[in-house]
Chain A
Amino acid sequence: MSIPELLVKDGFITATDRKKIDTYSSESGLSFIKIALSFGYISRKNYERSLNQAGIDFAEIREMEYDQAVLDKTDLAFANEHLALPLRIENGKVVTVMANPDDELFKDFIRFTYDLEPHVIVASDLDIIWLSNKLIGDKYLKSSVFELLKRDPDSSAVVTFSSAQLVFIFVLIGLVAVGLVLSFKNTSIILNVIISSFFLVAIIFKLFLALVGSRFELHQAVTKEELKLVFDEELPIYTILLPVYKEDKLIKKLIWNLQAIDYPRHKLDVKLLIEEDDDKTLNAVRNLDFPAIFEVIVVPFHMPKTKPKACNYGLHFARGKYLTIYDAEDIPDTDQLKKVVSLFGKLPSEYICVQSALNYFNRNENFLTRMFTLEYSYWFDYMLPGLDTLDIPIPLGGTSNHFKLQELVDLGAWDPFNVTEDADLGVRAYAKGHKIAIINSTTYEEANNEPFNWIRQRSRWIKGYMQTYLVHMRDPAKLIKKIGWKGFLGFNFFIGATPVIFLVYPLLLTFFICYIVFDLSSIRTLFPDWVLFMSIFNLMVGNILMIYVNMMAVFKRRYYELILFAIANPIYWLMHSISAYKGLYQLITNPFYWEKTNHGLSKVNNPTNVVK
């Protein structure tokens, strides 16, 4: 009895399901078992149960001997599609681990390639995936790490500071030092005025962006009527990459969220990217009581161990026309993918990416989540549309950015050495003449509710912004030529200024406290009144305007109850400053280190009503 017959007999799949799987298998080239286990037909537990009842046990294969020469003849993509891998030749047979022992196509491949009969060892598909990616994924792995560096070294963050940048920084430090020695007072005054003025100008720019963005807050990039014109049969294959690391607690949630997506199941190409050393997540997938609707890809170990590297690796196996990334805890609006397809259909060809808004489902959990929600609301609902309107490079958000897959590959995909690869990719896309659009669809995430975890996450983001800024400012003249003066200034004041604001904020605050609260006389002797007045004015007005921007944020989403929390923005910014200094330190000492954010800390259940 064949495996499909066995599964039907055991009642784990229906005859109709089997027919569907067979049809889809012949259309897509994927094996029967791959589809059955990855498209929500049967759980892994039931599959194992069925085989066990038929007297077939899964073998432990991770430590098995292998012969590299044998492995080299198998392509990883083919092995992944069939969930099978030839390991070595023993006793005149090719020892082959297979999830489905009667996959004749793969057996024929063995016979044809090695001119020998296969000796089949049945194993868990996850172990086979783990092993095959580890043993024969090297080519893809190297490509995912070094492809951008090889193809476009100027865009890679592998070098943090270019020589010219180092010279510039040291000359600047030298000039300041000389200035301080020659005239401590005047140099201090100049520094104070420049820093505080920059602070205010950067915040006024943020307010300006927020105002420009707020003008279009009711604009529907894709209307309900347009959505009705999207027909399931005409939809392309859509790849969803789900990079995870030690997210075992979130796997069940992830499946619920994915199941809610309104997109034909067979046209979804969902890839869960699990790191080689992440047995926790792998076992969580293994132990699921219900069918999974994603394909697992194990990313072999290679430094840097970053999310963009995992995504680049997953990209090699993507089959879709469009591609997006979600985090494990994300709850996208159910019609998001269809909206994106509709929008891409409307937009000119230079648009290669669509960014959805991000927001939080646990906003009322504590102070931090409230502040985070305010921040994300003004960022995604006002500032990014503002940048979009002004045609200034948009730093993409961490998830829910939807790409045209081919254009993404042509662009060099994500930079594995950049810890905010999304922001970098957004700017790179603009620099290469592409455009990014914003869509009226939201993905709800889990707001970080724990201060230290928050600081870790934020330090990575700020470090990434610094990396991105340094990468794209290696040749400012070239950047101006590519994105124009407006884009250049926008890039400087949005991407460049963000870390700088957080770095200078505590300095200005210290001046303010020393001057106003402690009435420190030495400050008065160092700075004349007009300088103190100016820096306090800049600090106060800057803070007030930023509070105002936060207040504006509540309107679009009607989070009116959060409006008073905006007043706490100066305190929230102190946490940003701590993160900024941590990020700066890491930029110098450990630029590629990925500060892992722990997810699943929220005690708030995902509200079902947010999925419309």
Chain B
Amino acid sequence: MRISRSLYLLFLTVILIIYYLVAAVYLNNLGYYNHESLFYIEKTRIVFDGVGQRLKVMGLTSPMIPFMATFFFTSISYTLAPALASAIGTGMLFYVIAGTLIKRRDDDFFMYLLLAIFLFHPGILYTAASGKSTYLVLIFFFLFFLNLLKFYRSNTTFHVSIASICLVTLIFCDYKFVWLTLFFLPLVLTITIHSLNLGEQESIFRLFLSFNSPSLRRKLVNKTFALYIILFALPLVAVLCYKLLNLTHASDLNYFSESPYATWNVLIDKLSFDQQTTNSNYQIPEISLLLSARVLMFCPMILIAIYLFRESTYQILTLLTPFAFIEFLHLKYDKVYLAYQYYMIFIVLAFLCVMFKSQTVKNQKSFRVLLALSVVAQLYSGWYFLKTSPIAEDRNFLSVLTKRTEDHTQADNADVAEYLNSLPDDAHILMDDATAYGVVAFVESEKIKSLTMPYQDNFLSGVESPDKAADYIVIATAKNLVTGYTQLNNRYLTSIKRTLPQLIFKKVYETENWIVYRVVK
């Protein structure tokens, strides 16, 4: 029976993967891209076809795991690789969740619910077809909490160690999850108190008892500390090592998270900040506490999950940790809208909790109706949240998906890239991929060698004396939103003309955001 269910599950997964692949390729053909996928495409092109310190680009590009996951698909197509990775990855997410489900419930109802989510939830489609790293975040977030919940039941080192390893991977899929550890500090204490062999059941009295007995206190302290270490040692040491790697190779501990050359969201966050602070049409931003309310609207199933875990304080606290986490993100990264993936984590968490505790509900019929209603509500809210997302590329995804018309968001970048592709092979083109990664992403593989970019040693000398190192320069126009974040903009031209007055820059190609100049020597 188990084998046939497993095969059935495999079959479903393959069907889902095909469904996602079709969606991803279709959207890709319509010209849909986003900043993250473009960034991965550009860096992958450098790693495989570039000239210069490619190892450094490979090691310091962040988030590391989603970036490297695209490598498996570059042989098919550079531009499709992130979308293929996310499509297959989302299929794997389904397999992981459904695999857990069939081990726990011999009941097709929950499989139908899961299938409904994975087939129709816009957030899942976004995860699968966008080429973003959300699929990996969801997989490891799910595994992390799955192993925590298993640890609560089994109390074996295995599950807490696996949870720790999942946390490491999660952090390397999205560095912001490092802050999740912060909210586990009090939680671990409650877990330890719960695990002490005491007659008292109420957590607060258990704490009181543990603190007032010297031997219990010592045991509590030792065990809490040991749990902290086993859970957080690996993530913290991994982050420390990664930071040291950044320090030794980029002279900056936080290069991977603060440099636009290492990660895509530095620039996007700055743009978001600029838009929020300068926008005259003032939008109501996400407000603390209301954010949690938004999550409840986005994923009402989490309320059912919390209800199911109501009898155990520390397990409730575990479920509340992601709420605290997103509230914290909102405070720490203010003026940056909370990305869609941080809402999506609640979808998988809620389903996990329901899987874990569903058999404890007496009135299964009402429970199932409630679950079905919550899934329907989630499907709607998933769509609504994408439609009204303050992040433009989220809205753009839904727009392309629903209208199925060509997406021209990246047309400008593609046009410049096409022009660069048409230049002679021996022409040296100076450009700054901190902002122009969208252009580089569309440049042909053979042309990557002609580009002079900041990862190469000769970039700086090229900037200082373009007459010696460059035949063409790609400059961001004043209209370009990111013009302030690159050296190669209008101001550069003015300053270089001041330094090298004999140099002539001839405009050879122009779009709204970019101008290509030929350097006349």
Partners in one complex: yes
In angstroms, Cα B55 to Cα A529, docked, is: 9
Evaluate whether A540 and B156 lie within 8 angstroms (CB atoms) in the complex, with A211-B161, A560-B225 already known: no
Check A218–B156 contact: CB distance below 8 A: yes
Q: Any chain B CB within 8 A of the CB of A317?
A: no
Evaluate whether A217 and B226 lie within 8 angstroms (CB atoms) in the complex, with A533-B55, A540-B241, A544-B241 already known: no
In angstroms, Cα B157 to Cα A50, docked, is: 59
| Most-contacted residue by chain B among A382, A540, A551, A556 (CB, 10 A) | A551
Instruction: Point out the residue from B59, B157, B226, B237 that lies within 8 Å of A214, measured CB to CB.
Output: B157
Interface size on A (CB < 8 Å)?
25
Chain B residues whose CB sits within 8 angstroms of the CB of A547 once the complex forms: 233
Instruction: Point out the residue from B154, B160, B162, B226 that lies within 8 Å of A560, measured CB to CB.
Output: B226
Q: How large is the interface on B (under 10, 10 to 19, 20 to 34, 35 or more residues)?
A: 20 to 34
Instruction: Point out the residue from B155, B158, B229, B241 that lies within 8 Å of A211, measured CB to CB.
Output: B158
Chain B residues whose CB sits within 8 angstroms of the CB of A558 once the complex forms: 223
Q: Any chain A CB within 8 A of the CB of B102?
A: no
Chain A residues whose CB sits within 8 angstroms of the CB of B238 once the complex forms: 544
Chain B residues whose CB sits within 8 angstroms of the CB of A548 once the complex forms: 161, 230, 233-234
Q: For window 555-603 of chain A, which residues contact chain B by CB distance below 8 Å? A: 555-556, 558, 560-561, 563-564
- What's the dominant secondary structure at chain A's contact region? helix
Check A544–B237 contact: CB distance below 8 A: yes
Q: Any chain A CB within 8 A of the CB of B222?
A: yes
Type the 1/0 row for A499-534, where 1 means its CB is closer than 8 Å to any CB of B.
000000000000000000000000000000110010
Chain A residues whose CB sits within 8 angstroms of the CB of B156 once the complex forms: 214-218
Q: For window 49-66 of chain B, which residues contact chain A by CB distance below 8 Å? A: 55, 59
Chain A residues whose CB sits within 8 angstroms of the CB of B226 once the complex forms: 551, 554-555, 560, 563
Check A217–B158 contact: CB distance below 8 A: yes
Chain B residues whose CB sits within 8 angstroms of the CB of A216 once the complex forms: 156
Q: How far is the CB of A538 from chain B (nearest CB, A)?
A: 12
The residue on A at minimum CB distance from B220 is A560
Counting residue pairs across A and B whose Cβ atoms lie within 8 Å, the total is 57
In angstroms, Cα B233 to Cα A544, docked, is: 9
Evaluate whether A215 and B158 lie within 8 angstroms (CB atoms) in the complex, with A551-B229, A551-B233, A563-B226 already known: yes
Chain B residues whose CB sits within 8 angstroms of the CB of A552 once the complex forms: 157, 161, 230
Q: How far is the CB of B192 from chain A (nearest CB, A)?
A: 10
In angstroms, Cα B46 to Cα A17, docked, is: 89
In angstroms, Cα B154 to Cα A143, docked, is: 50
Check A556–B157 contact: CB distance below 8 A: yes
Evaluate whether A214 and B233 lie within 8 angstroms (CB atoms) in the complex, with A560-B223, A563-B226 already known: no
Check A561–B157 contact: CB distance below 8 A: no
In angstroms, Cα B434 to Cα A557, docked, is: 53
Q: For window 236-284 of chain B, which residues contact chain A by CB distance below 8 Å? A: 237-238, 241
Q: For window 206-247 of chain A, which residues contact chain B by CB distance below 8 Å? A: 211, 214-218
In angstroms, Cα B230 to Cα A214, docked, is: 13
Q: How far is the CB of B484 from chain A (nearest CB, A)?
A: 34
Q: How far is the CB of A384 from chain B (nearest CB, A)?
A: 15
Q: How far is the CB of A433 from chain B (nearest CB, A)?
A: 28
Check A533–B158 contact: CB distance below 8 A: no
The residue on A at minimum CB distance from B55 is A530
Evaluate whether A214 and B55 lie within 8 angstroms (CB atoms) in the complex, with A554-B226, A555-B226, A555-B230 already known: no
Check B155–A533 contact: CB distance below 8 A: no
The residue on B at minimum CB distance from A556 is B157
In angstroms, Cα B226 to Cα A555, docked, is: 8
Q: For window 173-227 of chain B, which residues contact chain A by CB distance below 8 Å? A: 219, 222-223, 225-226
Q: List 11 A-B contacts (CB under 8 A).
A: A211-B161, A211-B162, A218-B154, A218-B155, A533-B59, A544-B238, A547-B233, A552-B157, A552-B161, A554-B226, A560-B225
Beyond the given pairs A556-B157, A560-B222, A563-B225, 5 more chain A to chain B contacts, judged by CB atoms under 8 angstroms and listed by A's residue number, are A548-B234, A551-B230, A552-B161, A555-B226, A560-B223
